[in-house]
Amino acid sequence: MNLMAWSDHFVTGIDPVDQQHRMLVNMINAAAPHLVSGDDEAQREVGPLLDKLIQYAATHFKYEEMLMEQVHVEAAYLAQHVKTHLAFVDEVLRMRTQFERGEHLSGNDLLHFLTSWLTFHILSEDKQMARQILAIRAGDSASHAYAALDAPASAPQAVYNAALIDLFALLTTRNRNLTAANEEIRQGKTELERLNQELEQRVSQRTQELAASNAELRTERLALVDSLAQLKLTQNQLLQSEKMAAVGQLAAGVAHEINNPIGFVSSNLGSLSGYVNQLLAFIRGCETLAPALPPAQRNALLQQAAAIDLPFIRQDVSELLQESRAGLDRVKRIVNDLREYAGADNAVWQSADINTALQNALKVTDIELQAKAEVRLELAPIPPLLCIPAQIGQVFVNLLRNAAQAIAEHGTITLRSGCHGDTAWIDIADTGCGMSAATQRRIFEPFFTTHAVGNGTGLGLTMAWDIIKRHSGSLDVKSVPDQGTTFHIELPIRAASTTPAGTP
């Protein structure tokens, strides 16, 4: 069904003009079903229809203006007619701009505008134009033909034309107001988008600044925590060094005070041993002469020997002398081991036998280990290493004490050593309680300990790890809960000429 039906009322009497009017009516009727739908389809039809209207106006208006110029209609009327043409083109261009901006353009509003303009233009203006052109072609003057337009028309026709003119003016004004409102909305939207973008930029910038500040604070905090840990570790190392120095001085003093009495006790034991041997020889001589004595004297001698249990004394006195010498030797060895472990030259890099250092550490911790474990040695020959023996010994002592503490009642501690290429390795394994994976990840952290409060500082393994690292080595741990733990140490084998840079 067509929106507009062509009738004789639209005929102007000028065929090309009527043909163009028919074409416009057909154009509107073809687009009307799509435009009245009010959905996305209507929006898709608006753009192409506006383009066709602009092209139609350029052809049709040009042709009408040419006809009026050819017959020389009144200039005032020609100007008025051209003004109407321009008003239509201006409205269509406004609509096209609005559509290009993506603003909603009602299909029904467009149809109302076109039908009102078409009816007004054809029934009013184009009819008047045709009457003047036909009159002038018939020989009438332009002024007379223009004046004839003022002849009274039928009342219904006049009312109808006036209503169409008012409707066209109303729709034009409404469309312009909508366009202006849409433009204000568009500008407001643009301004809002600009403000939002500025706000987002400021928020983003502030967020970046805060993130940078937070990152800087985290870095400073981590640096502070690390510095505090290093300070505590250094303080503990200084305390340990002072303690070891004090132990060294104590050991030197004890050795000095003990060595002298040990010396004369050892000398006296030697003399006593000689005297005892002489007395025993004398007694054997007396026993040899006993049979030659008178019976009374012989019986008295034998009774005296039986009373003192001479055979037992002869055997026991030798054993007592041997145990005394062994005890003196052990005292000497303990003092020497203590002096060697905590000597005043413990910061000197020197070539040392790691196996010997390990055995010395065993001697230092002998009392602790005897109560807890059987110690097994599986040591292979290792070339002398360039190291600080006292510090390496401290590592071994810490690991051996940890191994003993990990054993609840009684177990086994196995010490292994060997080398591969230019690297020496040492394993200290125990059959103790073992450690979980979470504990293994933290055991080298400063002040981390699994012992009860007051039973450890949590720095033993940290210091061990630090010492091994300063020797360009590595300290690793493998442990299984309830199955034991193995600490694995690797140290480079270096000649004395390759002392690490920066060492004392």
3-state secondary structure string, 355-378? Answer: HHHHHHHHHHCHHHHHCCEEEEEE
Treating both helix axes as pointing N-terminal to C-terminal, what angle do 107-120 and 15-35 enclose, rounded to 10 degrees? 160
Smallest Cα–Cα separation from 80: which of 20, 28, 146? 146
Label residue 454 by pLDDT band (50, 70, 90).
very low
CA terminus-to-terminus distance, the chain: 108
Separation of alpha carbons 496 and 239, rounded Å: 29
- Summarised one tens digit per residue, pLDDT across range 117-153 is 777 777 778 888 888 989 898 899 988 888 887 655 4
Which of the two residues, 271 and 473, has the higher pLDDT score?
A: 473
Residues 351-370: tens digit of each pLDDT:
889 999 999 888 888 878 88
pLDDT number for residue 416? 94
User: Tell me: the pLDDT tens digits for 162-205?
Assistant: 555 555 555 566 666 666 666 677 778 888 888 888 888 888 88
Q: Contacts from 3-9 at CB under 8 Å and sequence distance 24+? A: 3/28, 3/29, 3/32, 3/111, 3/115, 4/28, 4/29, 4/115, 4/118, 9/123
Nearest-angstrom CA–CA distance, 237 and 214? 34
Domains and CATH numbers, the chain: 8-151 (1.20.120.50), 345-504 (3.30.565.10)
AA letter at 27: M
Contact 462, 402 (CB under 8 A): no
- What would the pLDDT profile of 219-243 be if each residue is shown by its tens digit? 888 888 888 877 876 776 666 556 5
Owner of token pair 């049709």: 60
d(CA 504, CA 411): 40
Confidence of residue 491 (pLDDT cuts 50, 70, 90): very high
This model's pTM is above 0.75: no
| β pairing state of 373-378 and 411-420 | parallel
pLDDT for the residue numbered 241: 56
User: How many Cα atoms within 13 Å fall on the side-chain side of residue 386?
Assistant: 15
DSSP-derived secondary structure for 65-97: HHHHHHHT--HHHHHHHHHHHHHHHHHHHHHHH
Distances (CA, A) of 434 to 216, 246, 400, 440: 40, 34, 14, 10
Q: Across all residues in the chain, what is the average pLDDT? A: 78
Give the range among 9-18, 232-241, 385-394 with minimum mean pLDDT: 232-241
